[in-house]
Every structure is written in structure tokens, then in C-alpha cells.
Structure 1
């Protein structure tokens, strides 16, 4: 690491549904400031709960007006007082103003190459004229190949990829190629880097036991689409007669009030079930668990393999097939178990699956262990990009001096 390397980074996280984009961006930001003492990070986020999370020194967040993703995949304004068009105009204005104020040395865009409804496009074009290094960061899995191909064609993504210096895929190449269904030019492929999964960790003072230990954790991430999982899990747990088996349900901040009330009311009569609305330190909650039941979003998956936990995943299949692809691929590697939601709705089948997962080997015992070196590789890739920019600047200076002599 270059001890004198100082730079600023603008991270974009559109955050219209759940917590995944914000938590991934926050994890990367904390790794960068830990590795580079001269780094400062600003995360642009549309999450309405961004202020609930703690951030390390030299990491700030810039909140943009919320937009909401509906179950059918469409978007609306997060405010009942503004139209979607008004909300998007306000978001684009805040993003551009932040870029002009910070004048970042680097920009990292999470998942949406042009931003939600192209809200990042004009800022990316301006940053390119300023010599800003631009990186597109993608999950290990985006969607089914045919669905992603249609989406990227509709949004005209490929013709704008020249705005980026590199594409980082937050998983190992042996696990999944999220861009397999898209016909990419050779120059794009040559600038694509697989980082490995992003590991999660906890500090010693984070290892609290406010919910106890060795419970079976049931989590739906942000919770906006988690009701079916929570309801099915409660139906299964109600039939569990295993002495000493405890369950912790973490509902998530985006579960509706009606759904939240119903789950809590149904769980109230079960002595072996705790229900928690939301905990920003989910890493510690996972670390204290005996096993995890979840939907296989990226962050939950990374926490499971980081803390070497047995896991049973019940992935959603709409509006994206991302979770299903990830869960089934991880099952093939022998890291987790997975069942379909329709099977999980059968209490006896779900309970049997829970009992099996509690006896399965942990992920690290698999023949092929998960690659969890993603944050180290991101720091190395960042240093290489800045080194390359410095070399190019030096070469340009030499050429100018030669031409003027």
C-alpha cells in the first residue's frame, strides 16, 4: 500500500428496495478507509433508513429522495407529495451537486450502470471529462441471463460502458458469470475483474448476546418481500417439539405494519420464538446464530459464509431470479441447503428441512471453500487503478515537454 496515497471516492447506491445496495456499499467503503489512511468516501444513497447505520470515520452518506420499487418491478416516488418524475429530477440534481462539490478521484456505481432511470448518466459523463476513475460494481448474480439481456438492451447499457474504467464482479469467476447472457465487446471483457465474495466481520465489542446464542435465525433482509418466508417459518416452528431449539425472527425495516403485527401476534404464544423488528448490526446477530434461514440475498449469503454458518435458503423468484440462482449454485458447491417457497409452505416439509440443515456440515468443510478475499482484492485493484492513472499523467507530461522543446 502506498502510505501517501490520498483520494476521494463517490459511491452511488440507488436503494429502492431492501438494504442490499447500501450495506454492500458501506462494507466496501469501510474496507477502503481501513486500508488507505488518506481515503475519504461519500456514499450517495436513496435508502430511507441510511441514517440508522453507523459509519466509520472518513465515510459520510448523502441521502437522496427515496424511490420505491413495487412488487411488479415498477418504480414510484417514495413520497406521496411528489410524482416519480419530480423525485427523479431532485435525485439527479443532488447527485450532480455532490459530484461537483467533492470532485472525486474515483466513482463506484453499484449495480445500475446508468443509475435508476439514468439518473447517473450526466454525472458520469461529466466525471469522465474530469479524469475521474469510474468503476461499475456488480453482484455475483444479477438475474436470469435472458431477463438481464432484455433489461440491458431496453436501457441501452452496453453503448455506455465506455464510461467505466473497470467492472468489478463481487464473487469468484468459478461461481457465476452475471453477464453471461450479454454479448459484450472484447474491450469490456478485458476490463472485467472478479473480486471474490465480500467478507463480513465483527469487532470484539460487537459480539453482544442481547438475543442469546445458538438460536436459529430467520431473516428476510430488509423485509419488504419477507412475509411469505416469515409466515411459513412460523407455521413450521409451531409444530416443532424439539427441546431447547430457539428461534429468532428479524423482520426488517421494510415489512408493512400489518404484516409485522400479524407475525408478532402469531409468535406471541410460542415460548421458543423471539421477534425483532430490525437490527443494524445483523453481522453480530448472524455470528451468534446456530443456523440461518433466509432468502439468499447477497449480504445474508456473504454473512453466512463469512461466519461459517449452516443455512437453509428459501429464495424468491420474482421480480428477479437472482436469489434462486445464487441459492441453487451455492447448494451445488455444498455450502448451503435450499428449498422452494411452495415446499416451505408445507409445515412438515419446512420443519424437516430445518432439522436437516442443523445437522449438515458447515460451509468451510466443503471440497471447494468459498472465496472470501473480495475486500482485499478491491483494495488492490483500487491501488492499481490509481497507479495506472499516475503513470498515464506522467507520460502525458513527458510528451507535452517533448513536443514543446
Structure 2
């Protein structure tokens, strides 16, 4: 029998749960489809740096590796909890990553969003795995930020050509007909030549195996969910006073990263028809069961939402990045969701929206949601190309491999701007 195919996925995990859940969904898709596509059993590691990762199960033969964490800080990042300088933490994380990958010897390494991690912590490890014949992929959300912000970020890590030299392919987890980051410059020319859009990572996501909270039981309900919760306070403050439609309850899931005092204040404000909980093991199941949902504009939240027909009002976070507003209003332009800025939302507006949308269905079949089927196929093609060039040995590094041919570009569409609000409520 051919030896087991080993895969590694990395996320820096500085804010929210989206990076964790995105890589977990990829792991399940690769574990499900790659054995048939390659004729080999598959195992893998997910390298993350959030303790919340341990809440989520993985396919058989896969495991988490949790690094000491970082958190956003003025001008960059800071250690989340460890008593260390950022320089010291970066050195610790870099050494751990290199040791893990040297031991595992993956044949495919997928890096989420930040090509070299925090402060270049991945640079040595990427060169190391490529010397072993590993294929490397940079996975990107479909929306990154305003082009000027992203241009500065590419320059900070050595420029797009430097990134392109170290990655065999770039996978953009979206539908170019909704939002294409290549013509905007968010994915520059040298990286766009290696890029392909996969479709949103929506359909065939893993079953989280949760259940409806006991406070809701079999009651019909509307839902407000805030992702990880660290930046959901403004939306939660509006939602907690919203009146659910007659005969329905309102469930608010704040996310495990919301500040404890803020969570306690929300629970104290909640009316008799509103239930506030910190965490659910099955947010996708709740979204699918709800009569209507209001949420923020993170990639993972919307990717999970779009596999349902539940009406949705997206209220992107304000500040930090322009990513969420650009995504929310681009999807609103297609009719997949409604969208509002937090400044234009009030308790009355939200109550009226719940009343109008509850029990309705939203058709999202025009959006490409097949990323979790496309990614295993792309992975198999990349691995097969490597094997054709130089099969990987357990005992000796593989020979250098040729770069793959540029992926064909899909149809381009410039993103909608915040001023184009004709499809927003």
C-alpha cells in the first residue's frame, strides 16, 4: 500500500474563530475526498494558536497543534497571555512550527491568509518543507481589504513576487462573479498568475453535532450570532432590545471571546422572549433552523450562512479592516443577503426586519458555493504533479519541482463599494 498522504494547515489565529473553522472545514473535505482522488489514506495536522480550537473535532487521523497565541495590538501584535516579548514569542513559535513540520514531513502545506505568519515566523519552515518536496498553497479569503492597505501588507512581507516564489498556488475561497480580488489589486499580478477561485467554502461543511439550546427547545426563533464575539458588542447592544415577531423567541449567541462583563450586561438586559448564550457547538445548525438571522460579515459566518435558505441581515463590523463591509455589500448586490452598517441600525429597524423576513426563504443557488469539493480536486492535481516530477521519500528529500502552470482566470467583477447600497435594506 502506498504510504499515507500527510497534510499540514496553518493559521495565525489572532482574532475570532473564522481561521480555525475555515481550516477545519478544509481538513474534513480533504479527508473525505483525497483518498479516492489519490488512492492513498490521508492524515494531517492543523497548526493554530487559539485555545478555542480544542472545542472542534477533526477527522480520524488528524489533530490540532496549539501554539502560544497572539492578539492584535497597536502597530501589530502582542503575546495573548505568555509573559514574553513579541520577539521572544515569535522565535518560540517559529522554532515550534519548524520542528513540527520537520517531524511530519507533509506533502501539502496550506497557509491561511498570512503567507509567512506573524513577523515572518513561517519563512524558514516554508523553505524547509519545500526542500523536502512539499507543495505549498496560500489560501485567501475572497475579500482582503482596501487595495492600498493590502499593497502595504504585501510590501511588508517582501513584496508579492517574493511570496509567489514560495507558493505553488494561491486558492481564493470565493466566487469571482461576486467579488474578485485580482482586478482590484488585492491579489497582485505575480500572485494572480498562480491563483484560482474555488467557490465559497459553504456546501458539505462538517456536521458540528450540536443541538438547539434547551432554552429554545422546539420553539421557532430568530437568531443573532456574533462570530467569536470579541468585536460584536455594538451589534449585540442593538439586538438585545429588538422585539422578535409574535410567537417567536430571539436567540443571541455572543461567541466565546466576548468580554465576560459585557456578556453579563447583555443577559441582564434581555427580555422574556430573548435568550443570550455565549457559545453553541452548532452555529450552522442554528442558522439553518432559524426563521431569520442577523450576523456580522466575517468570511466563515457568511460561508456557513450561504449553504442555507435562511434570510440574513449582515451588519459588518466597523473599523479594523474594510473587509467585512466590502463582502457584505458585494453579497447584498447579488440578492444573497441584506446589509446595513451598524450606524444605520436601530432596535426598531431590526425588529421590523425580523418581522418582515421571518418564515421567508432566500435563494442563493446563483452563488458558487462548491469550494469544499473544488479544493480536494486542486490538492490532488498539485500532489500528482509533484509525484510525476519527483516522488517523495520517507528517508530522503525530494528533488526540486517545477512551478505549476498558472491557473486559468475566472470571470472578473469589480467589487461593490459602500456607496452602492441599492440592494441594502
TM, length-normalised to structure 1: 0.89
Shift, 1:146, TM fit = 1.9
RMSD over aligned Cα atoms: 2.3
User: 1:353 maps to which residue?
Assistant: 353
Matched positions, count: 384
Question: CA 1:205/1:18 → structure 2, altered by over 3 Å: closer, same or farther?
Answer: closer
The correspondence of residues 145-164 of structure 1 with structure 2, limited to 5 A, is 145-158=147-160, 159-164=162-167
Please give the alpha-carbon distance, in whole angstroms, between the structure 2 residues aligned to 1:97 and 1:163.
19
Shift, 1:359, TM fit = 6.4
User: 1:75 maps to which residue?
Assistant: 77
**What SS does the aligned partner of 1:312 have?**
strand
Shift, 1:182, TM fit = 3.1
Q: Which structure 2 segments of 5+ residues have no match? A: 36-40, 392-397, 400-425
> What are the superposed Cα offsets for residues 259-281 of structure 1, whole Å, 9 maximum, x if unpaired?
111111111xx121111111232
Shift, 1:317, TM fit = 3.2
Please give the alpha-carbon distance, in whole angstroms, between the structure 1 residues aligned to 2:205 and 2:373.
16
User: 1:174 maps to which residue?
Assistant: 177
Q: Work out whether 1:215 is the aligned partner of 2:224.
A: no
Aligned residue among 114, 117, 125 for 2:116: 114
* Larger helix fraction of residues: 1
User: 1:27 maps to which residue?
Assistant: 25
Q: Which moved more, 1:251-260 or 1:149-158?
A: 149-158
Aligned residue among 184, 189, 192 for 1:189: 192
User: 1:362 maps to which residue?
Assistant: 362
Shift, 1:235, TM fit = 2.6
User: 1:286 maps to which residue?
Assistant: 287
Please give the alpha-carbon distance, in whole angstroms, between the structure 1 residues aligned to 2:208 and 2:232.
30
Q: Work out whether 1:377 is the aligned partner of 2:370.
A: no
2:254 and 2:277 in contact (8 A); partners too: yes
1:136 and 1:168 in contact (8 A); partners too: yes
2:222 and 2:249 in contact (8 A); partners too: yes
Question: CA 1:20/1:228 → structure 2, altered by over 3 Å: closer, same or farther?
Answer: same
Shift, 1:178, TM fit = 2.5
Q: Work out whether 1:14 is the aligned partner of 2:12.
A: yes
The correspondence of residues 215-294 of structure 1 with structure 2, limited to 5 A, is 215-237=221-243, 242-267=245-270, 270-294=271-295
Shift, 1:358, TM fit = 2.9
User: 1:402 maps to which residue?
Assistant: none
Q: Which structure 1 segments of 5+ residues have no match? A: 398-405
